[in-house]
Protein backbone atom coordinates (compact mmCIF):
# COMPACT_ATOMS: atom_id res chain seq x y z
CA UNK A 1 0.00 0.00 0.00
CA UNK A 2 1.52 3.28 -1.06
CA UNK A 3 1.14 5.49 1.96
CA UNK A 4 3.29 6.37 4.91
CA UNK A 5 1.29 8.49 7.34
CA UNK A 6 -0.01 7.57 10.77
CA UNK A 7 -3.72 6.82 10.62
CA UNK A 8 -6.13 9.11 12.50
CA UNK A 9 -3.66 11.05 14.58
CA UNK A 10 -3.77 14.77 15.39
CA UNK A 11 -4.09 16.93 12.26
CA UNK A 12 -0.81 17.23 10.39
CA UNK A 13 1.18 15.06 12.82
CA UNK A 14 2.58 11.56 12.96
CA UNK A 15 4.20 8.90 10.77
CA UNK A 16 2.96 5.44 9.90
CA UNK A 17 5.92 3.48 11.30
CA UNK A 18 6.75 -0.15 11.95
CA UNK A 19 6.05 0.45 15.63
CA UNK A 20 2.51 1.60 14.81
CA UNK A 21 1.79 -1.52 12.77
CA UNK A 22 3.35 -3.66 15.47
CA UNK A 23 1.08 -2.06 18.10
CA UNK A 24 -1.91 -2.63 15.85
CA UNK A 25 -1.17 -6.37 15.88
CA UNK A 26 -0.45 -6.74 19.61
CA UNK A 27 -3.76 -8.46 20.23
CA UNK A 28 -3.20 -10.98 17.42
CA UNK A 29 -2.00 -14.48 18.03
CA UNK A 30 0.23 -14.19 14.97
CA UNK A 31 1.68 -10.90 13.74
CA UNK A 32 1.86 -9.58 10.21
CA UNK A 33 5.27 -8.56 8.93
CA UNK A 34 5.42 -5.24 7.16
CA UNK A 35 8.31 -3.81 5.22
CA UNK A 36 8.37 -0.02 5.18
CA UNK A 37 10.30 1.46 2.27
CA UNK A 38 9.98 5.20 1.77
CA UNK A 39 6.27 5.71 1.33
CA UNK A 40 5.28 2.08 0.82
CA UNK A 41 4.05 -0.58 3.22
CA UNK A 42 4.40 -4.12 1.84
CA UNK A 43 2.33 -6.91 3.40
CA UNK A 44 2.91 -10.62 3.19
CA UNK A 45 0.04 -12.89 2.27
CA UNK A 46 -0.62 -14.15 5.77
CA UNK A 47 -3.96 -13.01 7.22
CA UNK A 48 -3.71 -11.78 10.84
CA UNK A 49 -5.72 -13.62 13.45
CA UNK A 50 -7.60 -11.75 16.13
CA UNK A 51 -8.46 -13.15 19.60
CA UNK A 52 -11.57 -15.29 19.63
CA UNK A 53 -14.54 -13.57 21.29
CA UNK A 54 -18.08 -14.62 21.86
CA UNK A 55 -19.29 -11.41 20.27
CA UNK A 56 -17.30 -11.04 17.06
CA UNK A 57 -17.22 -7.93 14.90
CA UNK A 58 -16.86 -7.52 11.15
CA UNK A 59 -13.09 -7.06 11.47
CA UNK A 60 -12.77 -10.63 12.74
CA UNK A 61 -14.56 -12.39 9.89
CA UNK A 62 -12.36 -14.93 8.17
CA UNK A 63 -10.56 -13.45 5.19
CA UNK A 64 -10.73 -9.82 6.29
CA UNK A 65 -7.36 -8.25 7.08
CA UNK A 66 -6.74 -5.50 9.58
CA UNK A 67 -4.77 -3.35 7.15
CA UNK A 68 -5.90 -3.32 3.51
CA UNK A 69 -5.18 -1.14 0.53
CA UNK A 70 -5.49 -0.81 -3.21
CA UNK A 71 -3.44 -0.54 -5.36
CA UNK A 72 -0.40 -2.27 -3.89
CA UNK A 73 2.82 -0.39 -4.56
CA UNK A 74 5.32 -2.36 -6.64
CA UNK A 75 8.45 -0.72 -5.28
CA UNK A 76 9.87 2.02 -3.03
CA UNK A 77 9.36 4.70 -5.70
CA UNK A 78 5.91 3.56 -6.76
CA UNK A 79 3.85 5.91 -4.59
CA UNK A 80 0.09 5.77 -5.01
CA UNK A 81 -0.25 9.45 -4.05
CA UNK A 82 -3.11 11.03 -2.11
CA UNK A 83 -5.52 8.58 -0.55
CA UNK A 84 -8.85 8.08 1.19
CA UNK A 85 -8.41 6.18 4.45
CA UNK A 86 -11.41 4.30 5.83
CA UNK A 87 -11.25 3.26 9.48
CA UNK A 88 -13.96 0.85 10.68
CA UNK A 89 -14.97 1.12 14.34
CA UNK A 90 -17.71 -0.30 16.52
CA UNK A 91 -20.79 1.90 16.87
CA UNK A 92 -21.33 3.53 20.26
CA UNK A 93 -24.82 5.02 20.74
CA UNK A 94 -25.17 8.68 21.78
CA UNK A 95 -26.09 9.73 25.29
CA UNK A 96 -28.76 12.32 26.01
CA UNK A 97 -30.07 13.28 29.41
CA UNK A 98 -29.91 15.68 32.34
CA UNK A 99 -26.98 15.50 34.71
CA UNK A 100 -27.52 17.03 38.14
CA UNK A 101 -25.02 17.69 40.91
CA UNK A 102 -25.81 17.29 44.60
CA UNK A 103 -25.71 20.26 46.95
CA UNK A 104 -26.20 21.03 50.62
CA UNK A 105 -28.87 23.33 52.04
CA UNK A 106 -28.52 25.77 54.93
CA UNK A 107 -31.09 27.02 57.42
CA UNK A 108 -32.03 30.66 56.82
CA UNK A 109 -32.97 31.39 60.44
CA UNK A 110 -33.06 29.87 63.87
CA UNK A 111 -35.87 27.46 64.57
CA UNK A 112 -36.67 23.77 64.75
CA UNK A 113 -36.58 20.95 62.21
CA UNK A 114 -38.47 17.75 63.09
CA UNK A 115 -38.55 19.01 66.66
CA UNK A 116 -34.78 19.52 66.77
CA UNK A 117 -33.44 23.06 67.41
CA UNK A 118 -31.42 24.45 64.51
CA UNK A 119 -29.51 27.67 63.93
CA UNK A 120 -29.23 29.92 60.90
CA UNK A 121 -26.34 28.82 58.71
CA UNK A 122 -26.36 25.19 59.85
CA UNK A 123 -26.49 22.49 57.18
CA UNK A 124 -30.00 21.14 56.65
CA UNK A 125 -30.14 17.64 58.02
CA UNK A 126 -32.24 14.48 57.98
CA UNK A 127 -33.65 13.33 61.35
CA UNK A 128 -35.39 10.18 62.51
CA UNK A 129 -38.54 10.09 64.65
CA UNK A 130 -36.46 10.33 67.80
CA UNK A 131 -34.74 13.51 66.62
CA UNK A 132 -31.41 11.88 65.91
CA UNK A 133 -29.54 13.43 62.98
CA UNK A 134 -28.98 10.83 60.25
CA UNK A 135 -26.95 13.03 57.93
CA UNK A 136 -27.11 15.99 55.59
CA UNK A 137 -30.14 16.44 53.37
CA UNK A 138 -29.22 16.37 49.69
CA UNK A 139 -30.55 18.99 47.30
CA UNK A 140 -30.22 19.29 43.52
CA UNK A 141 -27.48 21.71 42.53
CA UNK A 142 -26.53 22.56 38.97
CA UNK A 143 -28.40 20.76 36.21
CA UNK A 144 -26.63 20.32 32.89
CA UNK A 145 -27.65 18.72 29.62
CA UNK A 146 -25.52 15.70 28.74
CA UNK A 147 -25.87 15.44 24.98
CA UNK A 148 -22.95 13.62 23.41
CA UNK A 149 -23.39 12.46 19.83
CA UNK A 150 -21.97 9.23 18.47
CA UNK A 151 -19.07 11.11 16.87
CA UNK A 152 -18.08 12.53 20.27
CA UNK A 153 -18.16 9.17 22.05
CA UNK A 154 -16.28 7.34 19.29
CA UNK A 155 -13.40 9.82 19.11
CA UNK A 156 -10.82 7.37 20.51
CA UNK A 157 -12.46 4.15 19.37
CA UNK A 158 -10.20 1.21 18.50
CA UNK A 159 -9.98 0.34 14.83
CA UNK A 160 -11.41 -2.94 13.55
CA UNK A 161 -9.54 -2.51 10.27
CA UNK A 162 -8.14 0.12 7.91
CA UNK A 163 -8.65 0.47 4.16
CA UNK A 164 -6.53 2.79 1.99
CA UNK A 165 -7.92 3.67 -1.45
CA UNK A 166 -7.03 6.22 -4.12
CA UNK A 167 -9.01 9.43 -3.75
CA UNK A 168 -12.11 9.01 -5.98
CA UNK A 169 -12.50 11.11 -9.11
CA UNK A 170 -15.68 12.84 -7.92
CA UNK A 171 -14.90 14.41 -4.52
CA UNK A 172 -17.34 16.96 -3.14
CA UNK A 173 -19.18 18.05 -0.03
CA UNK A 174 -22.62 19.60 0.34
CA UNK A 175 -23.72 21.55 3.41
CA UNK A 176 -27.48 21.99 3.77
CA UNK A 177 -29.61 23.62 6.47
CA UNK A 178 -33.38 23.84 6.47
CA UNK A 179 -35.28 27.13 6.46
CA UNK A 180 -39.06 27.23 6.09
CA UNK A 181 -41.96 29.66 5.75
CA UNK A 182 -43.64 30.43 9.04
CA UNK A 183 -46.60 32.66 9.89
CA UNK A 184 -48.27 33.71 13.13
CA UNK A 185 -51.11 36.22 13.52
CA UNK A 186 -51.89 38.27 16.57
CA UNK A 187 -54.33 35.73 18.01
CA UNK A 188 -51.76 32.96 17.81
CA UNK A 189 -49.15 35.21 19.40
CA UNK A 190 -51.59 35.97 22.22
CA UNK A 191 -52.29 32.26 22.68
CA UNK A 192 -48.55 31.58 23.00
CA UNK A 193 -48.24 34.35 25.57
CA UNK A 194 -51.18 32.89 27.47
CA UNK A 195 -49.68 29.39 27.36
CA UNK A 196 -46.50 30.74 28.95
CA UNK A 197 -48.48 31.60 32.07
CA UNK A 198 -50.65 28.49 32.19
CA UNK A 199 -48.66 26.82 34.96
CA UNK A 200 -49.18 29.75 37.32
CA UNK A 201 -52.83 30.63 36.69
CA UNK A 202 -54.63 29.13 33.72
CA UNK A 203 -57.85 31.14 33.93
CA UNK A 204 -56.16 34.47 34.58
CA UNK A 205 -53.65 33.90 31.76
CA UNK A 206 -56.34 33.43 29.14
CA UNK A 207 -58.42 36.30 30.48
CA UNK A 208 -55.39 38.59 30.20
CA UNK A 209 -54.70 37.46 26.64
CA UNK A 210 -58.32 38.04 25.67
CA UNK A 211 -58.33 41.50 27.24
CA UNK A 212 -55.20 42.46 25.30
CA UNK A 213 -56.82 41.42 22.03
CA UNK A 214 -60.05 43.23 22.81
CA UNK A 215 -58.20 46.43 23.65
CA UNK A 216 -55.41 46.45 21.08
CA UNK A 217 -57.11 45.05 17.99
CA UNK A 218 -60.41 46.75 18.80
CA UNK A 219 -58.80 50.15 18.74
CA UNK A 220 -56.90 49.41 15.53
CA UNK A 221 -59.97 48.17 13.65
CA UNK A 222 -62.15 50.81 15.27
CA UNK A 223 -60.24 53.62 13.64
CA UNK A 224 -61.07 52.21 10.20
CA UNK A 225 -64.56 50.72 10.54
CA UNK A 226 -66.13 52.23 13.60
CA UNK A 227 -66.14 51.08 17.16
CA UNK A 228 -69.35 49.02 17.15
CA UNK A 229 -68.52 46.87 14.16
CA UNK A 230 -64.91 46.49 15.24
CA UNK A 231 -65.90 45.48 18.75
CA UNK A 232 -68.30 42.79 17.55
CA UNK A 233 -65.76 41.33 15.13
CA UNK A 234 -62.96 41.47 17.66
CA UNK A 235 -64.96 39.79 20.41
CA UNK A 236 -66.14 37.02 18.10
CA UNK A 237 -62.65 36.30 16.83
CA UNK A 238 -61.01 36.62 20.23
CA UNK A 239 -63.55 34.31 21.85
CA UNK A 240 -63.13 31.58 19.28
CA UNK A 241 -59.34 31.94 18.89
CA UNK A 242 -58.54 31.95 22.58
CA UNK A 243 -61.29 29.87 24.22
CA UNK A 244 -61.77 27.30 21.44
CA UNK A 245 -58.41 27.76 19.66
CA UNK A 246 -60.22 28.48 16.39
CA UNK A 247 -61.58 24.97 15.89
CA UNK A 248 -64.96 26.12 14.57
CA UNK A 249 -64.39 29.61 13.19
CA UNK A 250 -61.26 30.82 11.48
CA UNK A 251 -60.43 34.45 12.25
CA UNK A 252 -59.66 35.32 8.63
CA UNK A 253 -63.01 33.91 7.53
CA UNK A 254 -64.90 36.24 9.86
CA UNK A 255 -62.79 39.26 8.93
CA UNK A 256 -62.86 38.55 5.22
CA UNK A 257 -66.64 38.19 5.09
CA UNK A 258 -67.31 41.18 7.34
CA UNK A 259 -64.65 43.70 6.41
CA UNK A 260 -62.77 42.48 3.36
CA UNK A 261 -59.59 42.35 5.40
CA UNK A 262 -57.51 39.54 6.86
CA UNK A 263 -55.10 39.35 9.76
CA UNK A 264 -51.46 40.02 9.07
CA UNK A 265 -49.82 36.60 9.06
CA UNK A 266 -46.35 38.01 9.79
CA UNK A 267 -44.88 35.62 7.23
CA UNK A 268 -41.15 35.06 7.64
CA UNK A 269 -38.50 32.57 6.62
CA UNK A 270 -37.28 30.92 9.82
CA UNK A 271 -34.53 28.44 10.57
CA UNK A 272 -36.14 25.06 11.15
CA UNK A 273 -33.41 22.43 11.33
CA UNK A 274 -30.09 20.90 10.36
CA UNK A 275 -29.32 18.16 7.86
CA UNK A 276 -26.90 15.26 7.72
CA UNK A 277 -24.33 15.26 4.93
CA UNK A 278 -23.97 12.38 2.47
CA UNK A 279 -20.77 11.35 0.72
CA UNK A 280 -20.98 9.11 -2.35
CA UNK A 281 -17.76 7.49 -3.59
CA UNK A 282 -17.06 5.40 -6.69
CA UNK A 283 -13.95 3.23 -6.70
CA UNK A 284 -12.67 1.31 -9.73
CA UNK A 285 -10.64 -1.87 -9.21
CA UNK A 286 -8.50 -3.45 -11.94
CA UNK A 287 -6.36 -6.02 -10.11
CA UNK A 288 -2.93 -6.41 -11.75
CA UNK A 289 -1.92 -9.60 -9.94
CA UNK A 290 -3.09 -12.17 -7.44
CA UNK A 291 -2.08 -10.09 -4.43
CA UNK A 292 -4.19 -7.15 -5.58
CA UNK A 293 -7.04 -9.54 -6.27
CA UNK A 294 -6.85 -10.79 -2.68
CA UNK A 295 -6.84 -7.21 -1.40
CA UNK A 296 -9.94 -6.32 -3.43
CA UNK A 297 -11.77 -9.41 -2.15
CA UNK A 298 -10.87 -8.53 1.45
CA UNK A 299 -11.94 -4.88 1.01
CA UNK A 300 -15.32 -5.77 -0.49
CA UNK A 301 -15.97 -8.46 2.09
CA UNK A 302 -15.01 -6.16 4.98
CA UNK A 303 -17.29 -3.32 3.90
CA UNK A 304 -20.24 -5.62 3.18
CA UNK A 305 -19.98 -7.32 6.56
CA UNK A 306 -19.46 -4.09 8.50
CA UNK A 307 -22.59 -2.43 7.10
CA UNK A 308 -24.77 -5.41 8.03
CA UNK A 309 -26.81 -5.49 11.25
CA UNK A 310 -25.65 -7.90 13.97
CA UNK A 311 -27.65 -10.54 15.78
CA UNK A 312 -27.61 -10.82 19.52
CA UNK A 313 -24.91 -12.93 21.13
CA UNK A 314 -25.66 -16.65 21.06
CA UNK A 315 -28.67 -16.33 18.77
CA UNK A 316 -29.32 -18.09 15.48
CA UNK A 317 -31.77 -17.90 12.60
CA UNK A 318 -33.33 -14.44 12.42
CA UNK A 319 -31.65 -13.44 15.65
CA UNK A 320 -33.06 -12.55 19.04
CA UNK A 321 -35.44 -9.83 20.13
CA UNK A 322 -32.99 -7.07 19.27
CA UNK A 323 -30.46 -6.42 16.52
CA UNK A 324 -27.27 -4.48 17.12
CA UNK A 325 -26.18 -1.60 14.94
CA UNK A 326 -23.61 -2.17 12.17
CA UNK A 327 -20.09 -0.84 12.42
CA UNK A 328 -19.44 2.78 11.50
CA UNK A 329 -16.53 4.49 9.78
CA UNK A 330 -14.10 7.35 10.13
CA UNK A 331 -13.02 8.79 6.78
CA UNK A 332 -9.92 10.86 6.17
CA UNK A 333 -8.21 12.34 3.13
CA UNK A 334 -4.42 12.18 3.35
CA UNK A 335 -1.57 13.33 1.12
CA UNK A 336 1.34 11.24 -0.13
CA UNK A 337 3.20 11.90 3.14
CA UNK A 338 0.40 10.45 5.26
CA UNK A 339 -0.73 13.77 6.72
CA UNK A 340 -4.13 15.42 6.52
CA UNK A 341 -4.80 16.67 3.03
CA UNK A 342 -3.84 20.36 2.85
CA UNK A 343 -7.07 21.37 1.12
CA UNK A 344 -9.90 18.80 1.14
CA UNK A 345 -12.69 18.74 3.72
CA UNK A 346 -12.89 16.80 6.94
CA UNK A 347 -15.67 14.27 7.56
CA UNK A 348 -17.37 13.29 10.81
CA UNK A 349 -18.03 9.65 11.71
CA UNK A 350 -20.25 8.00 9.11
CA UNK A 351 -22.53 5.03 8.57
CA UNK A 352 -22.28 3.10 5.31
CA UNK A 353 -25.88 3.35 4.12
CA UNK A 354 -25.54 1.86 0.64
CA UNK A 355 -23.02 -0.23 -1.27
CA UNK A 356 -23.17 -1.60 -4.81
CA UNK A 357 -20.52 -3.61 -6.64
CA UNK A 358 -20.50 -3.99 -10.43
CA UNK A 359 -18.36 -7.00 -11.37
CA UNK A 360 -18.72 -6.31 -15.11
CA UNK A 361 -17.57 -2.71 -15.14
CA UNK A 362 -15.89 -3.19 -18.53
CA UNK A 363 -19.30 -3.63 -20.14
CA UNK A 364 -19.02 -7.40 -20.50
CA UNK A 365 -18.23 -10.40 -18.35
CA UNK A 366 -14.45 -10.84 -18.50
CA UNK A 367 -12.19 -12.47 -15.90
CA UNK A 368 -8.60 -13.59 -15.43
CA UNK A 369 -7.67 -17.26 -15.17
CA UNK A 370 -8.42 -17.31 -11.43
CA UNK A 371 -11.91 -15.88 -11.94
CA UNK A 372 -11.08 -12.31 -10.85
CA UNK A 373 -13.12 -9.81 -12.91
CA UNK A 374 -11.00 -7.60 -15.16
CA UNK A 375 -12.75 -4.42 -13.98
CA UNK A 376 -14.85 -3.85 -10.84
CA UNK A 377 -16.71 -0.71 -9.78
CA UNK A 378 -17.66 -0.23 -6.13
CA UNK A 379 -20.11 2.53 -5.18
CA UNK A 380 -20.28 3.55 -1.53
CA UNK A 381 -22.64 5.99 0.15
CA UNK A 382 -21.62 7.26 3.56
CA UNK A 383 -23.82 9.45 5.76
CA UNK A 384 -22.55 11.39 8.76
CA UNK A 385 -23.91 10.41 12.17
CA UNK A 386 -24.08 13.98 13.46
CA UNK A 387 -24.73 17.38 11.82
CA UNK A 388 -22.08 20.02 11.24
CA UNK A 389 -22.24 23.03 13.56
CA UNK A 390 -20.59 26.45 13.60
CA UNK A 391 -18.42 25.37 16.52
CA UNK A 392 -16.92 22.56 14.43
CA UNK A 393 -15.38 25.18 12.15
CA UNK A 394 -14.52 27.48 15.03
CA UNK A 395 -12.64 24.80 16.98
CA UNK A 396 -10.93 23.20 13.97
CA UNK A 397 -7.23 24.08 13.74
CA UNK A 398 -6.08 21.68 11.01
CA UNK A 399 -5.32 22.38 7.37
CA UNK A 400 -7.75 22.81 4.50
CA UNK A 401 -11.34 24.00 4.32
CA UNK A 402 -12.41 22.35 7.58
CA UNK A 403 -15.67 20.44 7.50
pLDDT digits (tens, 9 = 90+) for 100-144: 778 888 888 888 887 888 888 888 888 888 888 888 888 877 777
| Domain co-membership, 209 together with 347 | no
Residues 235 and 231: their CA atoms lie apart, in Å, by: 6
Predicted local confidence at residue 33, as pLDDT: 32
| Domain co-membership, 374 together with 281 | yes
- Kindly indicate the confidence band of residue 51, based on its pLDDT and cuts at 50, 70 and 90: very low
| Domain co-membership, 221 together with 261 | yes
Residue 54 in any domain: the answer is yes
| Domain co-membership, 321 together with 367 | yes
Residue 2 in any domain: the answer is no
Q: Which range has the worst mean pLDDT, 145-149, 178-182, 218-222, 348-352?
A: 218-222
296 burial (CB, 10 Å; 0-12 / 13-18 / 19+) is buried
| Domain co-membership, 160 together with 209 | no
Residue 90 in any domain: the answer is no
256 by DSSP, 3-state: which?
Answer: helix
Residue 8 in any domain: the answer is no
- Kindly indicate the confidence band of residue 239, based on its pLDDT and cuts at 50, 70 and 90: low
| Domain co-membership, 293 together with 364 | yes
- Kindly indicate the confidence band of residue 233, based on its pLDDT and cuts at 50, 70 and 90: low
Residue 250 in any domain: the answer is yes
| Domain co-membership, 29 together with 141 | no
Phi and psi at 126, nearest 5°, equal: -115, 130
Q: CA angle at residue 83 from 80 to 89, to 5 degrees?
A: 130
**Comparing 310 with 189, which gets the higher pLDDT?**
310
Q: Give Dmax over CA atoms of the chain in angstroms.
A: 96
Range of the domain at 356: 18-85+150-173+276-395
**Residue-wise DSSP of 341-387:** PSSSPP---EEEEEEEEETTTTSS--B-TTS-BS-EEEEEEEEESS-
The count of structural domains within the chain is: 3
Residues 373 and 360: their CA atoms lie apart, in Å, by: 7
Q: Are 68 and 164 in contact (CB under 8 A)?
A: yes
Predicted local confidence at residue 217, as pLDDT: 53
Residues 210 and 195: their CA atoms lie apart, in Å, by: 12
Residue 44 in any domain: the answer is yes
Residue 333 in any domain: the answer is yes
Q: Which residues pair with 377 in a beta bridge?
A: 284, 358
Residue 271 in any domain: the answer is no
Residue range 314-339: mean pLDDT, rounded: 86
Residue range 289-299: mean pLDDT, rounded: 93
Predicted local confidence at residue 232, as pLDDT: 52
Predicted local confidence at residue 151, as pLDDT: 76
Residues 251 and 183: their CA atoms lie apart, in Å, by: 14
pTM of this structure: 0.68
Residues 322 and 328: their CA atoms lie apart, in Å, by: 18
Predicted local confidence at residue 236, as pLDDT: 53
CB-based contacts of 173, cutoff 8 Å, min separation 6? 277, 279, 345, 347, 403
CB-based contacts of 19, cutoff 8 Å, min separation 6? none
Predicted local confidence at residue 327, as pLDDT: 94
Please check the confidence at residue 245 and state whether its pLDDT lies above 70.
no
Helices (H), 135-247: 150-153, 186-196, 202-225, 227-238
Rounded to the nearest integer, the mean pLDDT of the chain is 75
**Comparing 164 with 74, which gets the higher pLDDT?**
164
| Domain co-membership, 288 together with 328 | yes
Amino acid sequence: MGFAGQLFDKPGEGKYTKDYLRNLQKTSSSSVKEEVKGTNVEQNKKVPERPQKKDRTAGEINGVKQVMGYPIARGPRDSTGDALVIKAIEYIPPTTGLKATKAKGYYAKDGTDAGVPVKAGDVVGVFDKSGNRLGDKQFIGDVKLNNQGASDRQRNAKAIYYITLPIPQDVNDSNVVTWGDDSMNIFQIAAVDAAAGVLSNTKQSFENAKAIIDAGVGRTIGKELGGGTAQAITRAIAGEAINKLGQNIRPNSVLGRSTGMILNSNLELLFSGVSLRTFPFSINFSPRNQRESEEVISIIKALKSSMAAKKGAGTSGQGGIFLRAPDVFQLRYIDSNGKDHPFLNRIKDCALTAMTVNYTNSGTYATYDDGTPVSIRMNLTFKELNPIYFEDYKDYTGPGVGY
